[in-house]
A and B are shown apart, each in its own frame.
Chain A
Amino acid sequence: MKTLAVFSGKGGTGKTTLVACFAELAGRVVAVDCDVDAANLRLLLPGVDVDREPFLSGRKASIDQDGCLGCGACAEACRFDAIVQCEGTWTVDSMACEGCGVCSIVCPAPDVIRYQDNLAGHWMRRRSGSILLVHAALGVAQDNSGKLVAKVRQEAAAWADHEGVPLVLVDGPPGIGCPVHAAMGQLDRMLVVTEPTPSGLHDLERMLRLAQHFGVSCCVVVNKWDLAPSFTRNIEDSCRTWRVPIAGRIPFDPAVPRLLAKGLLPLQEPAGRETSNAIIVCWSRFSTGPCEIPDLPEEVSWAGGSA
Chain B
Amino acid sequence: MAERIAITVSELTDLSAPMDPRFGRAAGFLVVQDGEVLTVSKNSAVLASHGAGTGAASLMQELGVGKVISGAFGPKASSALTEMGITMLLAPAGLTAAEALERAGRGELQVQALRVIR
Interfacial residues, chain A to chain B (CB-CB below 8 A) = 72, 75-76, 78-79, 81
- B51 at the binding interface (Cβ < 8 Å): yes
- B106 at the binding interface (Cβ < 8 Å): no
Cα–Cα distance between A79 and B50 once the two chains are bound (Å): 8
Bin the interface of chain B by size. under 10
B46 nearest in chain A by CB position: A76
B101-118 interface bits toward A, Cβ cutoff 8 Å, 1 = contact, 0 = none: 000000000000000001
B32-75 interface bits toward A, Cβ cutoff 8 Å, 1 = contact, 0 = none: 00000000000000001111000000000000000000000000
Q: A76-B50, A79-B118 are in contact. List 8 more A-B contacts (CB 8 A).
A: A72-B49, A75-B49, A75-B50, A76-B48, A76-B49, A78-B50, A79-B51, A81-B50
A75 nearest in chain B by CB position: B49
B50 nearest in chain A by CB position: A81
Cα–Cα distance between A79 and B118 once the two chains are bound (Å): 8
Q: Which 8 A-B pairs have the closest CB atoms?
A: A76-B49, A75-B49, A72-B49, A81-B50, A75-B50, A76-B50, A79-B51, A79-B118
10 residue pairs A–B, Cβ–Cβ below 8 Å: A72-B49, A75-B49, A75-B50, A76-B48, A76-B49, A76-B50, A78-B50, A79-B51, A79-B118, A81-B50
Interfacial residues, chain B to chain A (CB-CB below 8 A) = 48-51, 118
Closest Cβ of chain B: how far from A88's Cβ, in Å?
A: 14
**B49 CB contacts on chain A under 8 angstroms:** 72, 75-76
B52 nearest in chain A by CB position: A76
**A79 CB contacts on chain B under 8 angstroms:** 51, 118
Closest Cβ of chain B: how far from A123's Cβ, in Å?
A: 29
Cα–Cα distance between A79 and B49 once the two chains are bound (Å): 11
Cα–Cα distance between A72 and B51 once the two chains are bound (Å): 13
Cα–Cα distance between A75 and B49 once the two chains are bound (Å): 6
B75 nearest in chain A by CB position: A79
**B50 CB contacts on chain A under 8 angstroms:** 75-76, 78, 81
Cα–Cα distance between A270 and B51 once the two chains are bound (Å): 60
A76 nearest in chain B by CB position: B49
B118 nearest in chain A by CB position: A79
**B118 CB contacts on chain A under 8 angstroms:** 79
Cα–Cα distance between A81 and B50 once the two chains are bound (Å): 7
A85 nearest in chain B by CB position: B49
Cα–Cα distance between A118 and B51 once the two chains are bound (Å): 26
Closest Cβ of chain B: how far from A287's Cβ, in Å?
A: 42
**A81 CB contacts on chain B under 8 angstroms:** 50
Cα–Cα distance between A76 and B50 once the two chains are bound (Å): 5
Closest Cβ of chain B: how far from A81's Cβ, in Å?
A: 6
A73 nearest in chain B by CB position: B49
